[in-house]
Amino acid sequence: MRIALLSSEVVPFAKTGGLADVAGALPKALSKHGVDCRIVLPLYSQIDRSVLSDEIIEDVPVQWRGQVRPTRIFQSDAAGAPAYLIEAPDFFSANSIYGHANDHERFAFFSRAALALVKHLDWQPDVVHGNDWPCGFAMAELRARRRYDEFFKNVKTLFSIHNLAYQGAFNARDLWWLGFGESPEKDAFMLEGNASALKAGLLAADALSTVSRRYSQEIQGSEQGAGLDWILRARRDRLAGITNGVDYELWNPETDPYIAANFSTADLSGKRECKLDLLRRFGLPQEPERPIIAIISRLVAQKGYDLIKQSAGAIIETGAFFIALGAGAKEYEDFLQRWHESATNRVGIYKGYAGEPLAHQIEAGADMFLMPSYYEPCGLNQMYSMRYATVPIVRATGGLDDTVTDFDPEEGTGTGFRFREYHAGPMLDKIREALYFYNHPDAWRKIQLNGMAMDNSWEAAAQNYIKLYEEIIAL
Ligand code: ADP
């Protein structure tokens, strides 16, 4: 089976969030099952060039704005599966992955070059697997190409939604020169007077998937449907929900090279050292008995920062430390700064994208991990937390609801604490409940061990993807 996996971010090359973790881990897991999965991503200027091999594919002919643009493609095995990185300095040398006025142009070029590449290599994929709006262009183009290009005649498409709220909207006038100016391509893009690359992907792909079962249901309703729920309802027979896995080669407290001391279910003592190390890193007092509540997330409304803002005082009153790592909206960065300044010996913050080591150190050193998301397609940190004996406190939405279960003190079952209503009160209640059990070491140990025993490996997820690819190939 041959799968071309297209993604705008892939670990270990470039990352802003969970999509990169998935795009880095899934191909590796598929390869273990004998699937010939190859990754295609842009060659951003911030990518470390030392991970690239010396073999460069020269002069791949990419049709762009009425001309052929010869494009160089670099290669790497750093993700554990072959990766092709598309060079286009005029598009990919900006210092951030997204957030540019011409993002639609950048990723339309990426999509087109990815298809040109597989054709140039004469490597015919069974399925082109696109992820999120940057790959919506590839889905639309492939559907069109099948009508006139023999090479793509039997190539199928899967479009995975990692976040429905990012829709790749742009001025519909640009559809003409991007090559999508005529029906039915144009219709697929049009959304409320603008063009949307996400909508095009949702309509043009042969099949759709999201990153948890619960999110696949939620996006069929108006509350989480981001204006596109009608498409997802109409296409629900072709919409699968496959929960992301965890790359336990990277996220394993027994072997993690980034953390102060390794630990395991058999011996959790290293976690205390990690906690002291974490307190030191954030300039907080060395008080290991005091619980640490942590959060790592993009600073956007989706992640529930408004609830944290409303409860800032009450959280401090519980007596816990709070450690936050995040990059994003200025409003929330300013809030974190003010919160830190008002309680310097309780609140530790890191504003910005810190890379992998600090994220691992927080997972290892914290006692509780807070994810009060308004919505959460899958969420990875709650799964990382469980493996690191850090107890998740989550809002029961999307993948958080699918992967965390409530602690039941009678039965001794459950891996964390969940609240339902998106309000500060229920969140605080759960934080207090978690702190109550933190003070009962036997119960706490039980929750930690239950979480560590969860198997969220890519193994199961990869098998589900293989089954899905087989179904798509048979369409
Ligand atoms: P999302 O994809 O919505 O951002 P996920 O929970 O699925 O959320 O994945 C987030 C990933 O990004 C995790 O691996 C997390 O550790 C990482 N991450 C988020 N913000 C930062 C940051 N500021 N610094 C380092 N890693 C971060």
Give the model confidence (pLDDT) of 223-278 as tens digits: 999 999 999 999 999 999 999 999 999 999 999 999 999 999 999 999 999 999 99
Number of domain units in the chain: 2
Same-domain status, 87 and 195? yes
Do the domain assignments include residue 263?
Answer: no
- Ligand 1 midpoint to CA 16 (Å): 7
Same-domain status, 151 and 116? yes
CB of 381 shorter than 6 A to ligand 1: yes
Same-domain status, 450 and 435? yes
Same-domain status, 322 and 382? yes
Do the domain assignments include residue 259?
Answer: no
Q: Residue 157: left (phi > 0), alpha (psi -120 to 50), or beta?
A: beta
Give the span between the Cα atoms of 229 and 42, in whole angstroms: 30
Same-domain status, 224 and 297? no
Q: What is the DSSP string of 367-407?
A: SEEEE--S--SS-SHHHHHHHTT-EEEEES-HHHHHH--B-
Backbone angles phi, psi at 10, to 5 degrees: -150, 130
Give the model confidence (pLDDT) of 384-417 as tens digits: 999 999 999 999 999 999 999 999 999 999 999 9
Do the domain assignments include residue 429?
Answer: yes
From atom 17 of ligand 1, which residue's Cα is the shortest distance away? 17
Q: Which of 298, 333, 376, 400 to mutate to test the pocket of ligand 1 (most atoms within 8 A of CB)?
A: 298
Do the domain assignments include residue 262?
Answer: no
Neighbours of 380 (CB within 10 A): 23
Do the domain assignments include residue 409?
Answer: yes
Do the domain assignments include residue 83?
Answer: yes
CB of 367 shorter than 6 A to ligand 1: no
Q: Which of 358, 374, 381 to mutate to test the pocket of ligand 1 (most atoms within 8 A of CB)?
A: 381
- Ligand 1 midpoint to CA 178 (Å): 32
Q: What is the mean pLDDT of the chain?
A: 97
- Ligand 1 midpoint to CA 132 (Å): 16
CATH number of the domain where residue 394 is located:
3.40.50.2000
pLDDT score of 94 more than 90: no
Do the domain assignments include residue 124?
Answer: yes
16-20, 316-320, 421-425: which has the minimum mean pLDDT?
16-20
- Ligand 1 midpoint to CA 86 (Å): 24
Same-domain status, 435 and 463? no
Same-domain status, 30 and 127? yes
From atom 8 of ligand 1, which residue's Cα is the shortest distance away? 18
Same-domain status, 168 and 291? no
Which residues constitute the domain of residue 386?
Answer: 270-455
Give the model confidence (pLDDT) of 44-92 as tens digits: 999 999 999 999 999 999 999 999 999 999 999 999 999 999 999 999 9
- Ligand 1 midpoint to CA 241 (Å): 21
Do the domain assignments include residue 28?
Answer: yes
What pLDDT shows up at residue 217?
98
Give the span between the Cα atoms of 69 and 472, in whole angstroms: 32
What pLDDT shows up at residue 105?
98
Half-sphere exposure of 199 (CA within 13 A, CB side): 23
Same-domain status, 143 and 241? yes
Instruction: List, in order, residues 6 or more apart from 394 with CB less than 8 Å away.
Output: 370, 371, 372, 373, 376, 379, 382, 400, 401, 404, 416, 417, 418, 419
CB of 327 shorter than 6 A to ligand 1: yes
CB of 373 shorter than 6 A to ligand 1: no
What pLDDT shows up at residue 56?
98
Give the model confidence (pLDDT) of 137-165 as tens digits: 999 999 999 999 999 999 999 999 999 99
Residue 95 pLDDT class (50, 70, 90 cuts): confident
Same-domain status, 284 and 207? no
Same-domain status, 318 and 402? yes
- Report helix, strand or coil for 71: strand
Give the model confidence (pLDDT) of 447-475 as tens digits: 999 999 999 999 999 999 999 999 999 99
- Ligand 1 midpoint to CA 93 (Å): 23
Same-domain status, 219 and 289? no
What pLDDT shows up at residue 79?
96
